[in-house]
Structure 1
């Protein structure tokens, strides 16, 4: 199979949770946990090499995060498999967003980006 015929499809879903017990609103520290499910819906396995996040708070302040793998791992995800991990983010506002991409390498050597759709980090009760 040539790289041009690789069917590389990844579905990325994120669930977020506000961590009230770790947050300090009086000090502008709002802590969120997010759980990511990365499902290989394609026909070729791939390894997650790097991550790129853009974290934006309610004031419009952007923070970019780049690094190898996720939570210290560079998982290989075969077709039909899902890799799940949980991590966290700290914002200075009770509302923000995250988006980004995972840099992947297919089993055939092709490097590509798997986009992470925009999702909200929201303290309960902030939005009506």
Structure 2
């Protein structure tokens, strides 16, 4: 698990390899990642956009960006937490991701770039 705080917004990531959906023989590895976003600031914020950098050891880096997370643009009051789970397919048993969320502070409309900590995705059999 990795965690990072940016301007009062905490982002924590936990990853899991999904062997039942993976096929190493076909160079197909599936990982899920749980994201916990906690608003530790004094202001209400809304998550507007996400921007991911995905590094697959077997290929080049790719970028993914778009509105919200898993179809939502959650609003977090001070002290509130938003949790979601998403996934990533890789062509190798090792990869990493990082990026940022664009959030809006609702009191004044200021946009805040909240860093997503870099995390690794490793199939357990690669750890030996």
TM-score when scaled to structure 2?
A: 0.91
2:123 equivalent in structure 1: 123
| DSSP-derived class of the 2:100 partner | strand
Instruction: Tell me how far apart the structure 1 counterparts of residues 121 and 75 of structure 2 sit (CA, whole Å).
Output: 28
1:3 equivalent in structure 2: none
Q: CA RMSD in A?
A: 1.3
2:19 equivalent in structure 1: 20
| DSSP-derived class of the 2:25 partner | helix
The answer to whether the aligner puts 1:29 opposite 2:28 as a matched pair is yes
1:64 equivalent in structure 2: 63
Q: How does 1:93-108 map to 2 (within 5 A)?
A: 93-107=92-106, 108=108
2:46 touches 2:75 (CA, 8 Å); kept in 1?
A: yes
2:80 equivalent in structure 1: 81
Alpha-carbon shift at residue 125 of structure 1 (Å):
2.3
Give per-residue Cα distances to partners, 1:93-125, cap 9 Å, x unaligned. 000000000000001200111000100011012
2:41 equivalent in structure 1: 42
2:59 touches 2:91 (CA, 8 Å); kept in 1?
A: no
2:4 equivalent in structure 1: none
1:114 equivalent in structure 2: 114
Where does structure 2 lack aligned partners over 5 or more consecutive residues? 1-6
Instruction: Tell me how far apart the structure 2 counterparts of residues 127 and 19 of structure 1 sit (CA, whole Å).
Output: 15
Where does structure 1 lack aligned partners over 5 or more consecutive residues? 1-7
After TM superposition, the runs of 4+ consecutive aligned structure 1 residues lying more than 3 A away are: none
Alpha-carbon shift at residue 60 of structure 1 (Å):
5.5
